[in-house]
């Protein structure tokens, strides 16, 4: 049986969980469960956004590409958010790419249905617009963080963000990806990762990272992590009680 034909499992997307149950019940028939494989591009720069995604597991990077082909991560989206913000804001494209970095699943809604539901359910639009503000704060903090803080602080911050969105303490990651995420050369990432590893905060091998001392990472990370985390929790702190009851 294809994933889209299977009953919807326990809901994990915190944005959808924050909706009143009756509003989510209206949306449910228009949400399609889909798999998000590694490196799948969900939004291409300059091309029309055809669907929005509400991640359930895994996460995606919002990437800004330069003329020489280099890219830097400007945002991270997991089960706390959605991908496809141009449609919410009245546009149909963006210059950023959304690429799956940790494989998982999502609930997808096509663009036409999404626009209809924004008009039909005011609470849906209001919640998503508030999320835009939170996501904008993450993007702004990323820019400030990359310009002002040491690489080990930035690496610790990024690992905490990934850990928040992971299903356990271990998740896939390579030095190549980390250098793209932090906007630095691989050699710099290697040195910073070795420092955290020697301190017993992470274990890194064969393209996977395991967080072994989260309090230690929190002590190394700059204040940017806490600022963004608190803003997200303030928006999504009151999760819908339908966590265990939303089924197809």
Residue range 27-83, pLDDT digits in tens: 999 999 999 999 999 999 999 999 999 999 999 999 999 898 888 889 999 999 999
| The pLDDT of residue 110 | 97
| The pLDDT of residue 9 | 56
Distances (CA, A) of 32 to 109, 169, 183, 217, 247: 6, 28, 34, 36, 12
| The pLDDT of residue 173 | 85
107 with 160, same domain? no
| The pLDDT of residue 7 | 54
Lowest mean pLDDT, pick from 190-194, 200-204, 219-223: 190-194
The neighbour count for residue 234, using CB atoms within 10 Å, is 11
Spatial separation of the C-alpha atoms in residues 12 and 111, rounded to whole Å: 22
Chain centroid offset of residue 175 CA: 19
CATH code of the domain containing 208:
1.10.10.10
| The pLDDT of residue 245 | 31
Does residue 244 surpass a pLDDT of 70?
no
In a domain? residue 226: no
35 with 137, same domain? yes
In a domain? residue 230: no
Does residue 124 surpass a pLDDT of 90?
yes
124 with 178, same domain? no
165 with 136, same domain? no
Q: What's the DSSP call for residue 30?
A: G
71 with 41, same domain? yes
214 with 133, same domain? no
Range 105-112 average pLDDT: 98
- pTM comes to 0.88
**Residue linked to tokens 């999502």:** 106
Q: Which of 22, 18, 19 is nearest to 239 (CA)?
A: 18
Does residue 168 surpass a pLDDT of 80?
yes
| The pLDDT of residue 238 | 47
| The pLDDT of residue 3 | 42
14 with 126, same domain? yes
Containing domain of residue 188, as a range?
150-221
* Local structure of 97: helix, strand or coil: strand
For 133, phi then psi, to 5°, come to -65, -40
Structural domain total, the chain: 2
| The pLDDT of residue 5 | 46
Does residue 190 surpass a pLDDT of 90?
no
Does residue 96 surpass a pLDDT of 60?
yes
82 with 167, same domain? no
pLDDT confidence tier of residue 11, bands split at 50, 70 and 90: very high
């Amino acid at each position: 049986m294809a994933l889209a034909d299977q009953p919807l499992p326990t809901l994990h997307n915190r944005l959808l969980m924050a909706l009143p149950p009756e509003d989510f019940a209206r949306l449910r028939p228009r949400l399609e469960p889909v798999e998000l494989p590694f490196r799948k591009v969900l939004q291409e720069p300059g091309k029309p956004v055809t669907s929005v995604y509400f991640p359930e597991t895994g996460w995606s990077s919002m990437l800004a590409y330069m003329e020489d082909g280099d890219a830097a991560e400007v945002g991270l989206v997991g089960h706390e958010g959605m991908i496809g913000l141009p449609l919410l804001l009245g546009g149909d494209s963006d210059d950023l790419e959304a690429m799956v970095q940790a494989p998982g699943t999502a609930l997808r809604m096509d663009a036409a249905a999404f626009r209809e539901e924004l008009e039909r359910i005011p609470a849906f639009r209001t919640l998503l617009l508030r999320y835009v503000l939170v996501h904008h704060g993450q993007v702004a903090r990323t820019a400030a963080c990359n310009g002002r803080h040491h690489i080990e602080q930035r690496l610790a911050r990024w690992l905490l963000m990934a850990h928040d969105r992971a299903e356990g303490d271990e998740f896939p990651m390579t030095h190549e990806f980390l250098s793209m995420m932090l906007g630095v050369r691989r050699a710099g990432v290697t040195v910073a990762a070795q420092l955290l590893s020697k301190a017993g905060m992470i274990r890194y091998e064969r393209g996977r990272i395991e967080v072994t001392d989260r309090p230690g990472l929190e002590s190394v990370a700059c204040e940017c992590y806490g600022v963004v985390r608190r803003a997200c929790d303030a928006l999504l702190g009151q999760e819908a009680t339908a966590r265990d009851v939303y089924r197809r």
